[in-house]
């Protein structure tokens, strides 16, 4: 049998045909109305339709963190309508949590032609696309025997649970069942960080001592100015009750002036921004240096705050043993190692933003009190992302706006959430295996694991790995292929099954990653099993949702809990895994544990009746680092000094001991948050004649990462494209709507051109998450941005530098009406 992957256009036609047969005109009402399609019934009208057998609460669990409640209406065992939350109001703290186009299109996802219906086993070479159906018994026996073989032969560190976020919003239905199984069997090689936040996560400890969220976006009502570096909640946090709803309401009711720093004129910039600062990708630390240079030059910095709360802004607050002229002020004044003054003119040359505007911007940021500085996660998703993140932290310190209402610490916005008990991934204080690598450089652990060390590859828990990854569990994750930089590198590595010897993939849609498994298991959607959906959050309101099984499992699918129970039985660890509980009994346990720590939480019966439970932050607005600001001695940070460390002595030491063998320009650690010209960055773009355009990848309204990317209605509303500036398009004879090729030395994609001034000159942006779909010539006609991205982990976090890539664009086919 050949690969069960179905041509995407055939999938769309098949769904529309199935939909019309199964009463699809009514079933698509909610989605069609949301998309604004003419001639369709409104969502409100659909809400009043009768003739269903029952309405079941559940949620959209894709990884956008909004966690929108849904009401599934079922007739004769089939979901016929998906309706949004009908509770709440238009008031902050009680906003109606209305789902977006993704959440409301669950019905198309449940009945997608891409649903995996039977367990599958590869019959040809890995990645060749040859498969046969097998029984669940054979699948379980094969997986259990390979787990036993790998453990006995190589040890538990040879087992890897793959990073992914396809079901991240669930609890029991989350990815937790498989880690619990593996931990019950002695553990597995762990990972730290994630693809979204690896660099900023690694930066936090050296400046703040650990993760320190900024003020809530609701608290911006107390601000005179908010400055968002790459922060785009109107697209990344889409929900009527999520950050989108909060940001829009704060804008309408309080009119807070908002400046957006971003290479792309995002939906947030369009809807709430007063000023757009389009800088070149990866140059945020240079912009910050230029801004603070002006503040120091004009004595606008909050020197009292810097002296009391910070280490290393000035020579007098450097830690003992730090070299002379290693302070941030010395860096600005050109007294440091590079000898360059960080004037606005210097910053303008790097960022592409005029020096006069940098001076004006610096004065406004320094004099607006309070001023809320935040950053999204795109800023740090670069090869120099750790320094970009720390630089924005430093800007917040320079203006002294940390820990106060209306201010911010330069990190992502904070929020309040309900402390719902999580399904336990392991029993005891810690997982049985302590060794970890970065979530991103697993491909190296497959290829040359025993060569990976702590100071070169970021291995944690020991000095080096003893064995490479030999067995992978890839659950609810399309990161095996689709979401990992440089698709061709991963394919080449995975194709050699003498390296990673066994791969099991678990999903409910046949994603591009399924093609590279040895066994593929068909899972249920979260609408086919029971759960307690954990504490979602938005600004100063948290909520939890009842997760009801709306329909019986379709086809020959099983829940993750049932799969793991069967494998545990074969491994002789069923009791350790289940603790004698069914999935429903685990849900009851979660309620009991949650109520024990949070008495205001409803009972099972109460939450089932209400659907959504909201709870307001009892302390008012979330103010990041408030206790530290009020009393830094009583509430020190977890840094060596207990203060904000603009100069990091640990990083200075690591800069001397970490190894970057054979690595290209830009791979370095610095004690200060300096701007670093990195490989395929803004500087190289000026001289690279073959690939002169910087390529970034923005989040897209039609999908969350790669989830929902295969759905016809989502593709219709939000087709894949590349954003290109009119000047760059004219130079290449490209017009809006043309089909173009975007290519690098790694690969080539084919997609539609969106010619728009909403992207900075010299930059193109491709929405991330489109499914990798190569044609017979190897051209990715799906438009997956990782086809052209470079696999090259960042220096400190060993994280995902997905916004660091140089490409070229050329016309493939002229658009004609």
For residue 468, give Cα distances in angstroms to 146, 450, 593, 660: 16, 6, 38, 20
pLDDT at position 29, please?
32
| Structural domain for 245, as ranges | 200-280+292-320+366-416+624-657
pLDDT for 45 equals: 37
pLDDT at residue number 280: 98
Residue 240 banded pLDDT, cuts 50, 70, 90: confident
Q: Are residues 736 and 784 in the same domain?
A: yes
Residue 325 lies in a domain: no
With respect to residue 765, please indicate whether it lies within any of the assigned structural domains: yes
161: its two tokens: 């649970």
Q: Annotate 251-305 with DSSP letters as a single string.
A: HHHH--EEEEE-SB--HHHHHH-SEEE-PPTT-HHHHHHHHHHHHHHTT-S-HHH
pLDDT at 28: 32
Cβ atoms of residues 450 and 464 within 8 Å? yes
Report the relative pairing of strands 644-645 and 310-311 from DSSP bridges. Answer: parallel
Condensed to tens digits (0 to 9), the pLDDT of residues 419-442 reads 999 999 999 999 999 999 999 999
Indicate the angle between helix axes 560-571 and 177-184, nearest 10 degrees. Answer: 10
Higher pLDDT, 508 or 534: 508
Helix (H, G, I), strand (E, B) or coil at 765: strand
In the prediction, which pLDDT does 683 show? 96
Q: How far apart are CA 218 and CA 201, in angstroms?
A: 23
* The pLDDT of residue 88: 93
The CA distance from 597 to 421, in Å, is: 9
Rg (CA), the chain: 26
Total number of domains in the chain: 4
| pLDDT band (50, 70, 90) for residue 480 | very high
Question: Rounded CA gap, 745 and 750, in Å?
Answer: 15
Examine the domain organization and report whether 628 and 687 are in the same domain: no
CA distance 110 to 61: 13
Confidence bin at 125 (pLDDT 50/70/90):
very high
Residue 360 inside a domain? The answer is: no
Confidence of residue 773 (pLDDT cuts 50, 70, 90): very high
Which two tokens mark 513?
A: 């990653």
CA 597 – CA 594 distance, rounded (Å):
5
Angle 198-207/385-398 helices, nearest 10 degrees? 50
**Does 49 fall in a domain?**
yes
Most confident of 7-21, 36-50, 291-305: 291-305
Kindly state whether residues 378 and 229 are assigned to the same domain. Answer: yes
Residue 266 inside a domain? The answer is yes
Is the domain of 714 the same as that of 741? yes
Q: Is the pLDDT of residue 642 over 80?
A: yes
What's the pLDDT tens digit per position in 134-175? 999 999 999 999 999 999 999 999 999 999 988 888 899 887
Does some domain include residue 359? no
Please indicate, yes or no, whether residues 593 and 650 belong to a single structural domain of this protein.
no
- For residue 37, is pLDDT > 60? no
What confidence category does residue 562 fall into, taking pLDDT thresholds of 50, 70 and 90? very high
User: Mean pLDDT for the chain?
Assistant: 92
Please check whether residues 405 and 301 belong to one and the same domain. yes
CB atoms within 10 A of CB 43: 20
Q: Is the separation of the CB atoms in 794 and 383 below 8 Å? A: yes
Torsion angles phi and psi, residue 565, rounded to 5: -65, -45
Give the model's confidence band at 4: pLDDT under 50 very low, under 70 low, under 90 confident, else very high: very low
Residues 6+ away with beta carbon under 8 Å from 415: 213, 216, 537, 538, 539, 540, 542, 622
**Per-residue pLDDT averaged across 558-580, rounded?**
97
pLDDT of residue 1 exceeding 60:
no
Please state, in angstroms and rounded to a whole number, the distance separating the CA atoms of residues 18 and 80: 12
DSSP track, 123-154? -SSTTS-BEEE--HHHHHHHHHHHHHHHHHHH
pLDDT of residue 64: 84
394 and 486 housed in the same domain: no
Residues 271 and 372 in one domain: yes
Name the pLDDT band for 795 (thresholds 50, 70, 90).
Answer: very high
Nearest Cα neighbor of 476 from 705, 728, 804 is 705
Q: Is residue 244, in this structure, part of any structural domain at all?
A: yes
Whether residue 606 is predicted with pLDDT greater than 50 in this model: the reply is yes
What is the distance between the alpha carbons of residues 532 and 171, in angstroms, rounded to a whole number?
6
Q: What is the pLDDT of residue 241?
A: 86
Q: Is residue 428 part of a domain?
A: no
Assess contact for 650 and 314: CB atoms under 8 A: no
Confidence of residue 663 (pLDDT cuts 50, 70, 90): low
pLDDT on residue 34? 32
CA distance 67 to 167: 11
Residue 370, domain CATH: 3.40.228.10
Residues 439 and 451 in one domain: yes
Task: Mean pLDDT check: name the lowest of 4-13, 329-338, 419-428.
Answer: 4-13
Nearest to 241 by CA among 537, 630, 656, 660: 537
Query: Tell me, what DSSP letter sits at residue 685?
Result: H
Q: Other CB atoms closer than 10 Å to residue 2's CB: what's the count? A: 10
Which one, of 173, 687, 214, 596, lies nearest residue 407 by Cα? 214
Residues 448, 589 within the same domain: no
pLDDT band for position 67 (cuts 50, 70, 90):
confident
Q: Which pLDDT belongs to residue 13?
A: 32
- CA torsion through residues 577, 579, 585, 590, sign: negative
Q: Of 392, 67, 64, 350, which is closest to residue 199 (Cα–Cα)?
A: 392
- 450 in the same domain as 470: yes
Q: What is the CATH number of the domain that holds 754?
A: 2.40.40.20
- Residue corresponding to tokens 């004099």: 367
Instruction: Find the mean pLDDT for residues 80-108.
Output: 94
* 778 in the same domain as 699: yes
DSSP class of 778? S
CB 624 within 8 A of CB 373: no
């Amino acid at each position: 049998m050949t690969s069960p992957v179905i041509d995407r256009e055939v999938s769309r036609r098949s769904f529309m045909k199935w939909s019309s047969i199964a009463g699809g005109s009514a079933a698509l009402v909610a989605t069609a109305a949301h998309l604004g399609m003419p001639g369709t019934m409104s969502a409100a009208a659909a809400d009043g339709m009768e003739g269903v057998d029952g309405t079941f609460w559940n949620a959209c669990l894709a990884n956008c963190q909004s966690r929108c409640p849904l009401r599934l209406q079922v007739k004769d065992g089939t979901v016929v309508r998906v309706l949004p939350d009908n509770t709440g109001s238009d008031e902050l703290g009680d906003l109606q949590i209305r789902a977006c186009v993704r959440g409301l299109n669950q019905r198309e996802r449940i009945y997608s032609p891409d649903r995996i219906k039977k367990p599958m086993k590869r019959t040809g070479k890995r990645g060749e696309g040859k498969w046969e159906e097998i029984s669940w018994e054979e699948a379980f026996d094969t997986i259990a025997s390979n787990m036993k073989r790998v453990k006995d032969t190589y040890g538990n560190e040879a087992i890897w649970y793959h990073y992914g976020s396809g079901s991240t919003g669930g609890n029991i239905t989350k990815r937790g069942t498989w880690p619990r199984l593996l931990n019950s069997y002695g553990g597995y090689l762990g990972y730290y960080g994630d693809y979204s936040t690896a660099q900023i996560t690694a930066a936090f400890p050296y400046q703040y001592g650990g993760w320190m969220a900024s003020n809530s976006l609701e608290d911006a009502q107390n601000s005179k100015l908010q400055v968002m570096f790459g922060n785009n909640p109107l697209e990344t946090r889409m929900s009527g009750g999520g950050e989108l709803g909060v940001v829009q309401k704060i804008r309408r009711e309080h009119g807070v002036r908002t400046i957006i720093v971003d290479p792309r004129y995002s939906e947030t910039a369009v809807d709430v921004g007063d000023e757009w600062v389009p800088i070149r990708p990866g140059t945020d630390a240079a912009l910050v240096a230029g801004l603070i240079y002006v503040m120091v030059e004009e004595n606008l910095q909050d020197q009292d705050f810097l002296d009391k709360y910070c280490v290393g802004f000035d020579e007098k607050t450097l830690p003992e043993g730090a070299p002379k002229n290693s302070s941030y002020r010395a860096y600005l004044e050109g007294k440091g190692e590079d000898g360059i003054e960080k004037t606005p003119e210097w910053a303008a040359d790097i960022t592409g933003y005029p020096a006069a505007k940098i001076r004006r911007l610096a004065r406004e940021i320094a004099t607006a009190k309070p001023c809320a500085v935040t950053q999204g996660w795109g800023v740090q998703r670069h090869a120099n992302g750790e320094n970009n993140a720390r630089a924005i932290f430093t800007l917040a310190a320079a203006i002294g706006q940390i820990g106060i209402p209306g201010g911010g610490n330069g990190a992502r916005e904070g929020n309040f959430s309900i402390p719902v008990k999580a399904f336990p991934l392991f029993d005891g204080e810690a997982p049985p295996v302590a060794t970890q690598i970065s979530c991103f450089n697993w491909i190296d652990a497959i290829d040359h694991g025993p060569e990976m060390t702590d100071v070169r590859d970021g291995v944690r828990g020991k000095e080096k790995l003893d064995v490479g990854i030999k067995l992978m569990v890839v659950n609810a994750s399309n990161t095996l292929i689709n979401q990992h930089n440089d698709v061709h590198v991963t394919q080449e590595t995975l194709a050699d099954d003498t390296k990673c010897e066994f791969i099991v993939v678990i999903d409910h849609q046949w994603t591009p990653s399924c093609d590279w498994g040895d066994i593929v298991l068909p899972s249920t959607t979260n609408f086919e099993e029971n759960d307690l959906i954990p504490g979602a959050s938005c600004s100063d309101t948290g909520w939890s949702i009842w997760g009801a099984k709306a329909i019986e499992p379709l086809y020959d699918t099983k829940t993750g809990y049932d799969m793991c129970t069967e494998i545990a039985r074969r491994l002789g660890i069923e009791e350790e895994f289940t603790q004698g509980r069914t999935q429903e009994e685990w849900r009851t346990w979660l309620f009991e544990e949650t109520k024990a720590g949070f008495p205001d939480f409803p009972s099972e019966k109460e939450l089932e009746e209400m659907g959504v439970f909201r709870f307001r932050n009892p302390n008012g607005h979330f103010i990041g680092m408030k206790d530290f600001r009020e009393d830094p001695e009583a509430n020190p940070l977890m840094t060596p000094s207990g203060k904000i460390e603009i100069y990091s002595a640990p990083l200075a030491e690591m800069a001397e001991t970490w190894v970057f063998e054979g690595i290209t320009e830009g791979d370095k650690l610095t004690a200060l948050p300096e701007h670093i010209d990195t490989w395929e960055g803004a500087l190289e773009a000026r001289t690279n004649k073959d690939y002169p355009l910087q390529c970034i990848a923005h989040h897209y309204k039609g999908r969350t990462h790669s989830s929902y990317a295969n759905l016809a209605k989502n593709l219709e509303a939000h087709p894949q494209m590349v954003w290109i500036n009119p000047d760059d398009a004219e130079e290449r004879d490209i017009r809006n709507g043309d089909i173009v090729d975007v290519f690098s030395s790694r690969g080539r994609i084919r997609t539609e051109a969106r010619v728009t001034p909403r992207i900075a000159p010299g930059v193109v942006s491709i929405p991330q998450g489109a499914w990798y779909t190569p044609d017979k010539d190897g051209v990715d006609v799906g438009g997956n941005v990782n086809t052209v991205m470079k696999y090259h982990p960042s220096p400190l976090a060993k994280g995902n530098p997905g916004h660091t890539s140089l490409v070229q664009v050329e016309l493939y086919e002229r658009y004609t009406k």
